[in-house]
């Protein structure tokens, strides 16, 4: 059973690696050809939506103990990204060509083409230290870029369209507030939730790099 679990994790993370590498290629190719950030969603949006939706499996992996992450933090990450991507970016055509979409997609793609290969190789216990180091170091720059000028800025820019369109109605899940109000609350909470995840990743970095740092050979 452990061998089957590791094989499954290797295949899942390898397929995600290929998918995000393709997404990164599409985003960068469009930028280089058009010299513009406008076409990021048109070039890779649907692929990224698919990859992010499938990533719910990572919440399941943690919940059933297939990986040691638990379910809460993966659920927070998956929920935040998926809401941003499906409810706002995909749901509002007017925001799809904003530079913040390009920034988000670029930061996400760069992060995932490092993270998923590291997970894949670790699942079969053949991950070089330098990949682990890159995985637990690149987030220091990529994560704030994706969240700040990416996700948070785009949600703020989307507010007028949400209000104008009465997006998802004036009552959310039967509660006495609109989706517009919900996004306002999300924007207020986002920095605090992001900081919790960011600091957690620094703890992970210390633990993983200390554990896997190659020891000097004794004479």
Q: Is residue 183 part of a domain?
A: yes
Per-residue pLDDT band at 15 (split at 50, 70, 90): very high
- Taking residue 178's Cβ as centre, other Cβ atoms within 10 Å add up to 18
DSSP 8-state class, residue 217:
P
For residue 216, is it within any domain? Answer: no
Contact indicator for 107, 142 with CB cutoff of 8 Å = yes
Indicate which residue of 116, 151, 179, 180 is catalytic.
151
Is there a domain that residue 151 lies in? Answer: yes
- 90 lies in a domain? yes
* Residue 219 maps to a domain: no
Q: Is 151 a catalytic residue?
A: yes
> CA-CA distance, 93 to 37, in Å (whole number)?
15
Class of residue 117 by CB neighbours under 10 A (exposed 0-12, middle 13-18, buried 19+) = buried
191 vs 19: CA distance, rounded Å: 29
User: Rounded to whole angstroms, how far apart are CA atoms 36 and 34?
Assistant: 5
pLDDT band at 1 (very low <50, low <70, confident <90, very high): low
Residue 218 is assigned to a structural domain of this protein: no
Q: Which of the residues 12, 116, 119, 143 is marked catalytic?
A: 143
Residue range 42-53, pLDDT digits in tens: 999 999 999 999
The answer to whether residue 217 sits within a structural domain is no
- Which residues lie closer than 8 Å to 136 by C-beta, 6 or more apart? 201, 204, 205, 208, 209
Q: How many domains does the chain have?
A: 1
Task: State the helix-helix crossing angle for 99-123 and 153-165, rounded to 10 degrees.
Answer: 120
- The pLDDT of residue 216 is 44
Average pLDDT of span 79-100: 94
The three-state secondary structure class of 146 is helix
Exposure letters 77-100 (e unless 16+ CB within 10 A, then b): bbebbebbbebbbbbbeebbebbb
Instruction: Give percent of the chain above pLDDT 70.
Output: 95
Of 48, 23, 40, which Cα lies nearest the Cα of 96?
40
How far apart, in whole angstroms, are the C-alpha atoms of residue 135 and residue 119? 9
pLDDT band at 200 (very low <50, low <70, confident <90, very high): confident
Q: Could you tell me if 88 and 95 are in contact, meaning their C-beta atoms sit under 8 angstroms apart? A: yes
| pLDDT at residue 177, as a whole number | 83
Q: Which domain holds residue 77?
A: 2-211
At 119-137, the pLDDT tens digits run 999 999 889 999 999 999 9
What three-state secondary structure class fits 160?
A: helix
Q: For this structure, is 143 an active site residue?
A: yes
H or E, element range at 99: helix 99-123
Tell whether pTM > 0.85.
yes
């Amino acid at each position: 059973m452990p061998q089957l679990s590791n094989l499954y994790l290797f295949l899942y993370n390898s397929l995600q690696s290929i998918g995000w590498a393709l997404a990164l290629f599409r985003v960068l190719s469009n930028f280089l050809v058009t010299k513009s950030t406008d076409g990021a969603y048109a070039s890779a949006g649907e692929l990224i939506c698919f990859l992010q939706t499938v990533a719910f499996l990572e919440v399941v992996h943690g919940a059933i103990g297939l990986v040691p992450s638990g379910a809460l933090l993966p659920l927070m990450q998956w929920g935040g990204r998926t809401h941003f991507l499906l409810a706002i970016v995909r749901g509002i055509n007017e925001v799809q060509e904003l530079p913040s979409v390009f920034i988000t997609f670029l930061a996400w793609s760069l992060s995932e083409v490092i993270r998923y290969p590291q997970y894949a190789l670790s699942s079969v216990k053949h991950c070089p230290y330098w990949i682990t180091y890159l995985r637990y170091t690149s987030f220091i720059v990529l994560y704030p870029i994706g969240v700040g000028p990416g996700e948070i800025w785009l949600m703020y820019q989307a507010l007028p369209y949400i209000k104008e369109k009465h997006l998802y109605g004036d009552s959310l899940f039967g509660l006495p507030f609109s989706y517009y109000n919900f996004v306002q609350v999300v924007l207020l909470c986002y920095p605090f939730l992001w900081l919790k995840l960011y600091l957690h990743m620094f703890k992970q970095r210390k633990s993983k790099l200390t554990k896997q740092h190659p020891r000097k050979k004794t004479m």
